[in-house]
């Protein structure tokens, strides 16, 4: 398993790669890098696949365009198409977690000729809402939904950048299965919930005494070093394009994902505490008619491919063998 930087026609991309065979691209979320897929890269390579986990634009060793409007899902999908070309391939199966899942769904929707199947972790395929997303998320005088908190430049990145190690430790723990089971309105600290205007996001999250057992100190320090180098602005810029994505996606209204798909989520994922999320998952076959499986992994949280590496790898491999 090697790490390198590859030049494409859109940006230079840092990639983790291993194996030979049919191409599988693995897209990370926030705050992660391609290293989050280290277990699956090895498992896929052993099984006869060419596994590539890129740092998405704005992360790790990949290019970080300077304008916030250069972080739409269209830019991200364009990077993946350009990466396939730079690798000398014609098609790939695309796999994603968190924001990487959103990008994977859109890649399969926009370019089924280049992405022959899709695997999504933690974020289901969602329809295009009737109004811009910023008008849906809740806020009042005291607090606002975390996505709205992420909108203003110089806000969340300043809070997160004061102590990168503490920020990542809190975010990773609070979204993991180790934080415990949660249901809508149960009061469990949730990084995907409401943010007090007077405190910011991190103040309401627990600071764990130790890292989760599935995250080694070496892997954690590698993540810390990546964000100390890149900062958080690139990752936050994806959230700052939600309304612009909505505008650009109007041509896709009514379109469904036409390639085979697999979905999985942990039953302790904090995203399940967002009102309406369970119904969105249940209704997904209307948007993904070739969805072949929807799996709930007990005791797991939002970092599914790291918390349950063997189970996730086996589900992906079982899906790939049936294509």
Helix (H) or strand (E) holding 65: none
Q: What is the pLDDT of residues 163-192, one digit of tens each?
A: 999 999 999 999 999 988 766 666 677 899
> Which tens digit of pLDDT belongs to each residue from 45-67?
999 999 999 999 999 999 999 99
Q: Phi first, then psi: what are they for 305, rounded to 5°?
A: -70, -20
pLDDT band with cut points at 50, 70 and 90 for residue 95: very high
Determine the pLDDT at residue 180.
82
Contact yes or no for 126/101 (Cβ under 8 A) = no
What pLDDT is recorded for position 1?
Answer: 80
What confidence score (pLDDT) does residue 186 get?
A: 65
Higher pLDDT, 188 or 77: 77
Give pLDDT, residue 187: 65
CA atoms within 13 A of residue 81's CA, in its CB half-sphere: 14
| Residue of 35, 75, 79, 98 marked active site | 98
* 283 belongs to the catalytic site: no
Backbone angles phi, psi at 121, to 5 degrees: -110, 130
Relative orientation angle of helices 38-46 and 309-321, to the nearest 10 degrees: 40
- Give the span between the Cα atoms of 4 and 300, in whole angstroms: 31
The pLDDT, as a whole number, for residue 103 is: 98
- Give the closest residue to 55 by CA, choosing from 38, 43, 39, 69: 38
Q: Rounded CA gap, 14 and 294, in Å?
A: 31
pLDDT of residue 98: 97
Domain ranges of the chain: 2-321
Give percent above pLDDT 90 in the chain: 92
Domain 2-321: CATH superfamily, name plus number: Alpha/Beta hydrolase fold, catalytic domain (3.40.50.1820)
> Helix or strand or coil: residue 84?
helix
Per the annotation, the verdict on 269 as an active-site residue is: no
| Catalytic choice (28, 35, 75, 302) | 302
What lies within 8 Å, CB to CB, of 83 at 6+ separation is 6, 8, 13, 15, 25, 52, 54
């Amino acid at each position: 398993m090697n790490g390198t930087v590859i030049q494409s026609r859109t940006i230079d991309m840092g990639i983790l790669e291993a194996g030979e065979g049919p191409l599988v691209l693995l897209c990370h979320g926030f705050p992660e890098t391609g290293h989050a897929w280290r277990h699956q890269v090895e498992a896929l390579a052993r099984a006869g696949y060419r596994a590539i986990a890129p740092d998405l634009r704005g992360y790790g060793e990949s290019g970080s365009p300077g304008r916030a409007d250069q972080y739409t899902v269209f830019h991200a999908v364009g990077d993946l198409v350009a990466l396939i070309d730079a690798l000398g391939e014609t098609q790939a199966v695309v796999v994603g977690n968190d924001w990487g899942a959103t990008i994977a769904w859109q890649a399969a929707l926009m370019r089924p000729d280049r992405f022959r199947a899709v695997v999504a972790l933690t974020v289901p395929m969602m329809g295009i809402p009737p109004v811009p997303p910023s008008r849906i998320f809740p806020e009042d005088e005291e607090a606002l939904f975390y996505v709205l908190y992420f909108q203003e430049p110089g806000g969340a990145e300043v809070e997160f950048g004061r102590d990168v190690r503490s920020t990542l430790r809190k975010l990773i723990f609070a979204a993991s299965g180790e934080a415990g089971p949660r249901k809508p309105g149960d009061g469990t600290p949730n990084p995907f919930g409401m943010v007090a205007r007077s405190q910011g996001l991190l103040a309401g999250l627990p600071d764990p005494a130790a890292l989760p057992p599935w995250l080694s100190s070496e892997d954690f320090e590698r993540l810390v070093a990546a964000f100390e180098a890149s900062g958080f602005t690139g990752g936050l810029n994806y959230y700052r394009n939600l309304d612009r994505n909505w505008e650009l996606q109007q041509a896709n209204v009514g379109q469904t994902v036409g390639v085979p798909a697999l979905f999985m989520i942990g039953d302790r994922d904090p995203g399940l505490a967002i009102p309406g999320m369970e119904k969105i998952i249940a209704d997904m076959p209307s948007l993904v008619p070739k969805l072949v499986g929807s799996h709930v992994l007990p005791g797991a949280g939002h970092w599914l491919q790291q918390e349950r590496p063997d189970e996730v790898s086996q589900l992906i491999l079982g899906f790939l063998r049936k294509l």
